[in-house]
Amino acid sequence: MKFSTTVICLLAVFVCTGCRATRSLSSRFHSNSPIFKLQRERQDSQDDRGDETAVADADSADDRFVTQTSLRDLENSDNASTERPSSSKTKDGSESLAPSVSPDESDSDTDNTGSEAASSTNSQSSSTPLHLDDVIQSIFATFPMIQVAYYGRNIADGEVLTAQGAWDLKLKADANNAPVGFYKTYRNGVGFEQPTMWGGEVFGGYRIGDGNFEPWYGNRETNEGGEFKGGIMVPILQNRSIDARRAELWKSIYGRSAVEPFIQTQIIEFVRAGSYAYWDWVSAGLKLKVSGDLLDLAARRDKQIRDQVKFGARPDADIVDNERLILSRQVKLIESQRKLQSTAIKLSLYWRSLDGTPVIPDESQLPLIYPDPTPVNPNQVDGDVAEAISRRPELVELDFQYRMAQVDLQHAENMTLPELDASVWSAKDVGAPASSKGDKTPFQTEAGVNFSVPLQRRKALGKVAAVEAKLIQIATKRRFLENKIATEVQNTVVTIDAAYRSIEKARESVKLNEAMQSFETVKMEKGDSDLLRVNLRETATFDAQMVELEALLHFFESQADYRAALALDAAQLQFLDSDR
């Protein structure tokens, strides 16, 4: 009796220890998963529920995990399990694709899932679905090429500063001494020149000349205290209203203004490319789910067929045929997984962390379904065209190019005028007279006019002809761009409308194929159909679902084109700049 009691106690301890170890493994397996965290957050609201309901909720959460079962597991186990996406609810009620794990996972699969969960902690908001607006905001904030475009402002500011340098105050100095020879002379001077915005200049300075000067260089000599001089030069014809310096300044100012529409154009294209990458990723995730569902049908049917063959209700060939289906659908699933990984990597170019590091989105961030497509009103096309023409930065950039060409034309016409410059200067020597004549002492003033003109004026006339042709080019290009924008908007609206109608037809096709698949499955269970017909129906449903996903992808990519055609993101950039 004591021996029996001892054995029973040991067995009880062993069972309790095994249960505790099982719970520890299960806890370790789920602790890193987003679903477990959501379940834990909801636990407080479930305290008043019974143990049976809590267990059911935990099982429901477990069913949301996904893993991939290898071909060896399918061949060695009657209860084959397959990796496929399943849905989960986030805190805000949105649905996303999250991994789910079958109860027959091996320890190695558990370790792999744990490492994947650990690596996913580096992604942003991996527990909530990633939306298009998140990607667009990331593009605005951290996309490197936008930062490159922003530096165009610095380049333009530098060019404006360079042009303003033409009006820098210029300081000049000279020293010319001849201490050896018959005529020993010492001449030193300092002066300044200040260009003016009306094309002339103001100048002045001080010089001193001492020694025994040549008789023909008597003007180099000054009184003992030196000479002070100042004057002004004013253009009368050429360079009066514009000159090379003012032309460069005005063009650089227009060039700085033209940087903004250039940045807006770049942002529009980057957002369009990022939107394409996002919808490709979403489409790949939904296609992976459809491929997983197709494989799951064959995997769940495997045990049923084996039982029917065991009782003689079906031939042995059905087992081989179903295994063939499993293998072919596994290939499709692998290709879908590769496509999802590829699109996620491409999306990481636009989805980045705050420090600009590319972030590969996790599968748990995939939306479960596309947003509801909304049709466009074809009657608003004319209004959209007018709005696009008023917003598109390419037209604004062309307008600035036209103004810069007008400056070139004005400068070229200025060059056709003769050079006629008037100048006035005054000078006064100070100190002891340099000679007994005292000819350096009186106050001196001189006024003059300089005239020059090339008779053929071919350089100026040639530049006028070239700039006039450039202006015609820009105007023609602008009219064509307006026509192109109108066709882009019209074509995008037509494409969205066609894609919307295609979605409706594709969804009807999916419903009909699912109905026929259900009918054929029931007939097979009753023995009135075979595996070949069921496979045909399942494949037809799969193809119809793929067509629907392609139609949805085409619709939302067309919406990205529509957003770009109306330059909506250019307006957002203006808002962000004003907010700063």
Q: What is the DSSP string of 229-253?
A: EEEEEEESSTTSS--HHHHHHHHHH
- The region of weakest confidence among 367-381, 392-406, 449-463 is 367-381
Q: Residue 574's pLDDT is what? A: 54
What is the CA 176 to chain-centroid distance, rounded? 62
pLDDT of 140 strictly over 60? yes
Q: Residue 463's pLDDT is what? A: 95
Cβ atoms of 436 and 418 closer than 8 Å = no
Q: Which residue has the higher pLDDT, 78 or 353?
A: 353
- The region of weakest confidence among 67-76, 191-200, 388-397, 477-486 is 67-76
Q: What are phi and psi of 37, to 5 degrees?
A: -65, -40
Q: At 359, which amino acid appears?
A: V
Q: Residue 416's pLDDT is what? A: 94
Q: Residue 573's pLDDT is what? A: 62
- The region of weakest confidence among 117-131, 283-297, 404-418, 536-550 is 117-131
Distance separating alpha carbons of residues 333 and 290, to the nearest angstrom: 9
pLDDT of 442 strictly over 70? yes
Distance separating alpha carbons of residues 405 and 412, to the nearest angstrom: 10
Q: Residue 34's pLDDT is what? A: 35
Q: Which residue has the higher pLDDT, 300 or 500?
A: 500
Q: Residue 127's pLDDT is what? A: 62
**31-50 residue pLDDT tens:** 333 333 333 443 443 344 34
DSSP 361: P
Cβ atoms of 444 and 255 closer than 8 Å = no
What average pLDDT score do residues 190-210 get?
94
**93-137 residue pLDDT tens:** 334 443 333 333 333 343 443 334 333 333 444 568 899 999 999
Cβ atoms of 319 and 306 closer than 8 Å = yes
- Of 491, 496, 492, 486, the C-alpha closest to 382 is 486
- The region of weakest confidence among 197-206, 280-289, 316-325 is 316-325
Cβ atoms of 541 and 499 closer than 8 Å = no
How far the first Cα of the chain sits from its last, in Å, is: 86
Reduced to 3 states, what is the DSSP secondary structure of residue 29?
helix
- For 470, half-sphere exposure in the C-beta direction (CA atoms, 13 angstrom radius) is 18
Distance separating alpha carbons of residues 182 and 215, to the nearest angstrom: 12
Element (H, E) at 541: helix 531-565
Q: Which residue has the higher pLDDT, 377 or 16?
A: 377
* Torsion over CA: 60, 541, 544, 317 (sign): positive
Non-local (6+) Cβ contacts of 74 within 8 A are 80, 299, 302, 323, 326, 330
- The region of weakest confidence among 123-137, 278-292, 476-490 is 123-137
pLDDT of 448 strictly over 60? yes
Cβ atoms of 562 and 376 closer than 8 Å = yes
What average pLDDT score do residues 459-479 get?
96
Query: Residue 86, exposed/middle/buried by CB under 10 A (0-12, 13-18, 19+)?
Result: middle
Q: Residue 44's pLDDT is what? A: 44
Supply the mean pLDDT for the chain.
80
Q: Residue 269's pLDDT is what? A: 94
